[in-house]
């Protein structure tokens, strides 16, 4: 090591990122071509929309695909787990631990039958609400104290047809409205990163 290297370090060295400036946006869905345009996969759609806006691409990684974006000095990891919905927590915990991301900087994006189509509801903690992805995440993290972003898909189905509805594709009216709703969802996610949970809930809940 020469005197220049000893003073300035090598070019390969990278400054470690402050964990408080790192965020994991875990967007839930099911892998496979048959699920791409289903209501249950709105989490993946939100992740794809943000990545496209930010000019980022997804890479296949352990337990999912991941895109890294920078938003005003914050490092944001967009995760699409490949574990299928029922084991989402495994991928979420792995990437929280690997990137040393604090639990308060986690946002889990899911669909929700109990909310009108396209409506946003963000909470800092709560129950799984019967959602298998949230249920597994709570089991694996051993807490329900993490932020979750629910995207309404409504409950416009006949009795006994819930599974078909959730795993069904958007109707034509929903497809027409989806781009604007995805824009709003992306805004809300970025607000979580830049303005915090409380401000984001106040600004976007019910929109």
Q: Which of 22, 39, 40, 181 is catalytic?
A: 40
Interval 111-137: pLDDT, tens: 999 999 999 999 999 888 889 999 999
Q: Note the pLDDT of residue 78.
A: 98
Interval 23-39: pLDDT, tens: 999 999 999 999 999 99
DSSP conformation class of 111: E
Closest-CA residue to 88 (of 97, 80, 96): 80
Q: Note the pLDDT of residue 158.
A: 81
CA–CA distance, 168 with 38 (Å, rounded to integer): 5
CA–CA distance, 5 with 7 (Å, rounded to integer): 5
pTM equals: 0.90
**55, pLDDT greater than 80:** yes
CA–CA distance, 172 with 180 (Å, rounded to integer): 14
Closest-CA residue to 153 (of 134, 125, 132, 174): 174
The count of other CB atoms within 10 Å of the CB of residue 110 is: 26
Interval 73-85: pLDDT, tens: 999 999 999 998 9
**5, pLDDT greater than 90:** no
Cβ contact 90:138 at 8 Å: no
Q: Is 40 a catalytic residue?
A: yes
């Amino acid at each position: 090591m020469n005197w220049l290297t000893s003073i300035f370090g090598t070019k390969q060295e990278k400054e470690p990122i402050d964990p408080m400036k790192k965020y994991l946006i875990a967007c839930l869905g099911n892998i496979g071509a048959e699920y791409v345009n289903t209501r249950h996969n709105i989490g993946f759609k939100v992740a794809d929309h943000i990545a496209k806006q930010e000019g980022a691409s997804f890479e296949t990684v352990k337990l999912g695909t991941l895109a890294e974006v920078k938003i005003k000095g914050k490092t944001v990891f967009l995760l699409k787990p490949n574990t299928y919905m029922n084991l989402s927590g495994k991928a979420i915990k792995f990437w929280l631990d690997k990137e040393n991301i604090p639990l308060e900087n986690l946002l889990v994006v899911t669909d929700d039958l109990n909310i009108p189509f396209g409506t946003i509801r963000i909470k800092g903690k709560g129950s799984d609400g019967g959602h298998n992805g949230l249920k597994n995440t709570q089991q694996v993290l051993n807490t329900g104290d993490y932020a979750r972003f629910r995207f309404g898909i409504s409950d416009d189905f006949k009795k006994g047809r819930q599974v078909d509805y959730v795993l069904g594709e958007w109707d034509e009216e929903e497809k027409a409205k989806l781009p604007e709703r995805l824009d709003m969802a992306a805004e809300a996610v970025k607000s979580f990163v830049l303005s915090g949970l409380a401000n984001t809930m106040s600004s976007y809940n019910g929109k």
